[in-house]
Structure 1
Amino acid sequence: MHADEEHEWSVRPGAAPGGRPADRRPRVIVVGGGVAGLATGCYAQMNGMRSRIFEKHVLPGGCCTAWGRDGYVFDYCIEWLIGTAPGNEAHRIWRELGALDGKSITHFDMFNRVTDESGRSVMFYNDPGRLEAHLLGISPADAPLIRSFCRDLRRFTDIELYPFLTAPALRSAGERLRMLRTVLPAFRLFWRTAATPMHAFADRFEDPLLRRAFRNVFFQDPEGFPLLPYLFNMAAAHRRNAGFPQGGSLGLARSIEERYTALGGTVSYRSRVARVLVERDRAVGIELGNGRRYYADHVVAACDGHTTVRTLLGGRYTGPRVDRLYGELLTERGALFPAVVSVFAGVRGDLGPDRAHSTTYLLSPEDAAHLPGALQRSLVVQLRSHYSDGFAPPGRSVIHCTYFSDFGFWKELRTRDRKAYWALKRRLAAFVRDFLERHRPGIAGRIELLDVASPATTKRYTGNHDGSILAWKAFSEADDVAAALVGKDRMRLPGLAGFSLAGQWVGLGGLIRAASTGRFAVQYLCDEWGLPFTARESLAREPWRPARLGPLPRLDRRDTRLGQEVPEA
């Protein structure tokens, strides 16, 4: 950015009464360069605004990111991406944001494999017919329940419902009618599957493996989910609308960043926002941690919700809905997605043919005891080199192992005794190496590095409350409160003008939801300022290359080669 442009952002813009820009392009500041923040910036630029994104990290994407070590790319976020098939609203948003430009999409014929302690496995094929035959082969006694699940899965494959284009409060009568035409014929299906908890459904199986396996279709048991999201996402994967984009998580963020800068936007990295500047109950800009101030006609916070309300705004602009969402619910069990521990293994050679790209291993009590802070007795092992090219140097491969873990456990240990924290990570890395050897004999000798990220790591790099990477759980009270904040409140806070919320802390988790909140925020802003909202697809088609990920940070400078593992701090 040129010095004169930098100076311009440091000067208050003139405005007509009510904060509407007077005879110039409106200026919008976005706090946070995750997918929601980048989407907000893109749509602001498409609608004639001048925007600037301030991001505390050195990379775009927030939780949708990766880091590197010795030529390996440790891809952290995407397991499947809704919207990879043409012809639906989710795909249209990704095309508008340039997220899939020039990329191939990897599709898998199964969602996940679940393997118990004895080695018995369940393959959750996306194809209803194949899944039904497989499950009946495991447990003929459970035929009625199996056929019921697969019958519902077939029905969901015919449903396309992605309400992401128009903010709820701005939907026209025609848009609402089209949604009703989709929902009403399948109303009983939606109602029944949304009202049936997966735990209650799974407990009806006679086969003990199926009782445990169905809980882990989504890799780990999210607890509290009904049947609907399992059926919906498996059906999307069967339609090839839930694939894995080339370049992975950081690749998605980089592509949206490229789209944003091509539209004329600017991202300022290493720029931690300390507070939102407010005058006469109107947000007028931000102040960075170094004291520098920047001004705009509107500020959009696309970052951690609790930090926004309690820190950036000092807790001054709240109401019953805001207090419930960003206060009480944060401490209630089951409202937030748990944090995760990630262990990446860099492996010499190929991983070989394996029918499952992802496997949830159900652990014995003895094995589970080796997972510090674990919330469940399971470990997910994903062969990330099978997802996309460029994740490992030539002749090498990457494995990603994860489990749900307690944020408080890791935070307390890291705060109290840093050496003990590092030592525990070393022991975890050693266990993962031994565990992989048991299930893939000979691999331990080919593992050349291990890298561990704890929930405390997620908190430090993203600012997400309790290290949660998906924020609120769907189908919870938080879902209802957040929906009212997006629809009734138009993503605004009580008593504060010139300010909007965006991202997963207001629109719930999932990348397409995060991106859609950026679209909604700009739609509401255009409506307030009397501007017509417009969006257009990216025309860029240059083939994706792994080099476009750019330089990757390391979480720590310690050597992690075998015999010296000291994972990141």
Structure 2
Amino acid sequence: MRREEDSEWTRREPAPGSPPRVLVVGAGMAGLATGCYAQMSGMRTRIFEKHVLPGGCCTAWSRDGYLFDYCIEWLIGTAEGNDAHQVWRELGALDGKTVTNFELFNKVTDETGRSVVFYNDPDRLQAHLLEVSPADARQIRAFCRDLRRFTEIELYPFLTAPALRTVRERAATLRTVLPAFRLFWRTAATPMHRFADRFEDPLLRKAFRNIFFQDPEGFPLLPYLFNMAAAHHGNAGFPQGGSLGLARSVEERYTGLGGTVSYRARAERILVENDRAIGLELRGGRRYYAEHVVSACDGHTTVHGLLGGKYTGPRVDKLYDELLEAPGTLFPAVVSAFVGIDGPLPEEDAHSTTYLLAAEEGARLPGALQNSLVVQLRSRYCDGFAPPGRSVVHCTYFSDYAHWAELRRTDRRRYREEKRRVAAFVRDFLTRRWRECAGRIELVDVATPATTRRYTGNHNGSILAWKAFSDADDIAADLVGKDRMRLPGLAGFSMAGQWVGMGGLIRAASTGRFAVQYLCAELGLPFRAQESTGGELWHPGRLGRLPQLDRWHPEERRDS
């Protein structure tokens, strides 16, 4: 940024007659969306990001020509004609991109080799499940009947902030919800584990818990049915360019609207005067001023770090003091192992498979919370993730953050040894299942929950923050609806992102939209949102320079 442009942000008072200034902490999806909608609505914005890339957890990195795509497994809003898609169109997220849709959501294979395929089509799914276990016909037909009903429902409440919805908008929601009220109520009140336990077949009892790759524990039936129905309509696909590609497209939209992102710029504290946020102080002491500040980073860091715990209330205390460390409230952290393979992957394998492990095998996975390993053939998701003639696989499992954080803090040598144990397990596991891959694994790159915490700041390395349908869900809804994403006693400040509006990329983006809508209502400005007209076809060059997260270990190279 040129010196004269920088000066408008280092002045305490704005220039007379100038548009409102808004500072945003964090260039994840929520922060970028906040910037885009504020720029569209006539404000001036600047985003500060501690990392060198946009996207937060929606990111990727590279090694030896491989691209390791970290975040997206499916993206709600990839099909035209719904409100979620409109948000992505406004943010330019899908400009010039193709979308990959799969015929199945996930496959689950047990220790004996028996498999269940969760097709997105209800009729195909029902026929397959009846072949697996005719004795469970009643349960199978009930699930598939509900799935058919969800395919007829379109409910994506991502356009208008809850407290600002008009009578017409509320009536439209009621017209969708009321005819299916009993369906919503029953599937939201039925825990998946209780439903799954009704199956006679032991494989189905375990497989249904792992439709979402691993068992989130505590989820009811509703989100499984909702997301599979979306996938059936092509509305939960995988966009070309993947996770970082999505973030780069929104970043391009933001800068095209006149916004600025400053990278390697870590916010140290929010400047407050007379109980009003007036700006930011970065590490190193440099200060920037604005009429409004939006924090779109980790919630605990915002409340107790940037603001020193001075602006809280019952809801904020409940979330960030009581529930933050309560079991089952945060979505579990994840260990990721990316595998680069010289040659193709087995054609007959599903793009995503959860392998259920015997207890003794699961015990070999460091810090594992469940006896399972998810194997995704990422080369099938999008072109450009591997060099020509090569393939990339992403293996993941839920893991204990404390295990990795303590090791990294106290014993770096053992920390690296644990990462090598993960790499060795994955090598052995894949070569036992794919004999043709023996000797063709070129590299294994492991990222732990401590890695996630280090690069994104997310508390306990949780990618999706608060777990939906947990005790945090209703409180977060009140923060967005009743509190308008503000903190008690503090003016000129808003929070956005998954630590306020729950997890998922479309939810994160919508919180940026909501924050600007609330701000426009406060300032008496019209909220404006226009679809992007960007027409350039996506190509890998638009990803920009890609980082390597950790130093390379020669012993992790090809096992020839």
1:9 aligns to what?
9
Residue 434 of structure 1 contacts residue 444 of structure 1 at CA under 8 Å; is this kept in 2?
Answer: no
| Matching residue within 136, 144, 157 for 2:130 | 136
Q: Does residue 196 of structure 1 match 2:213?
A: no
1:260 aligns to what?
254
Distance (whole Å) between structure 2 residues aligned to residue 305 and residue 427 of structure 1: 33
1:116 aligns to what?
110
Distance (whole Å) between structure 1 residues aligned to residue 556 and residue 235 of structure 2: 40
Corresponding residue SS for 2:373 = strand
Distance (whole Å) between structure 2 residues aligned to residue 200 and residue 414 of structure 1: 38
Matching residue's letter, 2:232: H
2:199 aligns to what?
205
The alignment's TM-score, normalised by the length of structure 1, stands at: 0.97
What is the deviation of 1:444? 3.1
Matched length: 559
Deviations 1:210-256, CA, capped at 9 Å, x for gaps: 00000000000000000000000000000100000000000000000
Matching residue's letter, 2:423: A
What is the deviation of 1:7? 1.7
| Matching residue within 423, 426, 439 for 2:417 | 423
1:24-423 to 2 correspondences below 5 Å:
24-423=18-417
Deviations 1:322-369, CA, capped at 9 Å, x for gaps: 000111101111110000000000111111313410000000112101
Corresponding residue SS for 1:445 = coil
Q: Does residue 456 of structure 1 match 2:450?
A: yes
Unaligned runs of 5+ in 2: none
Residue 105 of structure 1 contacts residue 244 of structure 1 at CA under 8 Å; is this kept in 2?
Answer: yes
Matching residue's letter, 1:11: R
Distance (whole Å) between structure 2 residues aligned to residue 94 and residue 13 of structure 1: 35
What is the deviation of 1:428? 1.4
Distance (whole Å) between structure 1 residues aligned to residue 384 and residue 541 of structure 2: 8
Distance (whole Å) between structure 1 residues aligned to residue 381 and residue 3 of structure 2: 43
Distance (whole Å) between structure 1 residues aligned to residue 422 and residue 411 of structure 2: 17
Distance (whole Å) between structure 2 residues aligned to residue 558 and residue 148 of structure 1: 51
Deviations 1:105-147, CA, capped at 9 Å, x for gaps: 0000000000000000000000000000000001000000000
The alignment's TM-score, normalised by the length of structure 2, stands at: 0.99
Q: Which moved more, 1:24-33 or 1:551-560?
A: 551-560
| Matching residue within 425, 428, 433 for 2:427 | 433
Deviations 1:298-323, CA, capped at 9 Å, x for gaps: 00000000000000000000000000
Residue 272 of structure 1 contacts residue 289 of structure 1 at CA under 8 Å; is this kept in 2?
Answer: yes
What is the deviation of 1:477? 1.4
Q: Which moved more, 1:212-221 or 1:473-482?
A: 473-482
Distance (whole Å) between structure 2 residues aligned to residue 215 and residue 360 of structure 1: 11
Deviations 1:425-454, CA, capped at 9 Å, x for gaps: 112101100000111112131110110000
Corresponding residue SS for 1:558 = coil
What is the deviation of 1:559? 3.4
Matching residue's letter, 2:96: G
1:18 aligns to what?
none
Unaligned runs of 5+ in 1: 16-21
Matching residue's letter, 1:8: E
Corresponding residue SS for 2:435 = coil
2:553 aligns to what?
559
Distance (whole Å) between structure 2 residues aligned to residue 204 and residue 107 of structure 1: 31
Deviations 1:59-107, CA, capped at 9 Å, x for gaps: 0000000011111110000000000001100000000000000000000
Distance (whole Å) between structure 1 residues aligned to residue 123 and residue 336 of structure 2: 34
Q: Does residue 467 of structure 1 match 2:461?
A: yes
Q: Which moved more, 1:347-356 or 1:537-546?
A: 347-356
Distance (whole Å) between structure 2 residues aligned to residue 184 and residue 390 of structure 1: 45
Residue 346 of structure 1 contacts residue 449 of structure 1 at CA under 8 Å; is this kept in 2?
Answer: yes
The 1:87/1:560 distance shift into structure 2, 3 A limit, reads farther
Matching residue's letter, 2:25: V
What is the deviation of 1:564? 8.7
Report the identity percentage: 75
Distance (whole Å) between structure 1 residues aligned to residue 516 and residue 167 of structure 2: 21
Distance (whole Å) between structure 2 residues aligned to residue 45 and residue 439 of structure 1: 51
Q: Does residue 486 of structure 1 match 2:473?
A: no
What is the deviation of 1:24? 1.5
Deviations 1:461-480, CA, capped at 9 Å, x for gaps: 00000000000011111010
Residue 41 of structure 1 contacts residue 52 of structure 1 at CA under 8 Å; is this kept in 2?
Answer: yes
Distance (whole Å) between structure 2 residues aligned to residue 83 and residue 553 of structure 1: 29
Residue 442 of structure 2 contacts residue 557 of structure 2 at CA under 8 Å; is this kept in 1?
Answer: no
Corresponding residue SS for 1:398 = strand
1:23 aligns to what?
17
2:543 aligns to what?
549
Residue 450 of structure 1 contacts residue 561 of structure 1 at CA under 8 Å; is this kept in 2?
Answer: no
Matching residue's letter, 1:9: W
Distance (whole Å) between structure 1 residues aligned to residue 541 and residue 425 of structure 2: 33
Matching residue's letter, 1:291: G
Matching residue's letter, 2:351: H
Distance (whole Å) between structure 2 residues aligned to residue 472 and residue 445 of structure 1: 41
What is the deviation of 1:561? 5.7
Residue 449 of structure 1 contacts residue 560 of structure 1 at CA under 8 Å; is this kept in 2?
Answer: no
Distance (whole Å) between structure 2 residues aligned to residue 51 and residue 495 of structure 1: 24
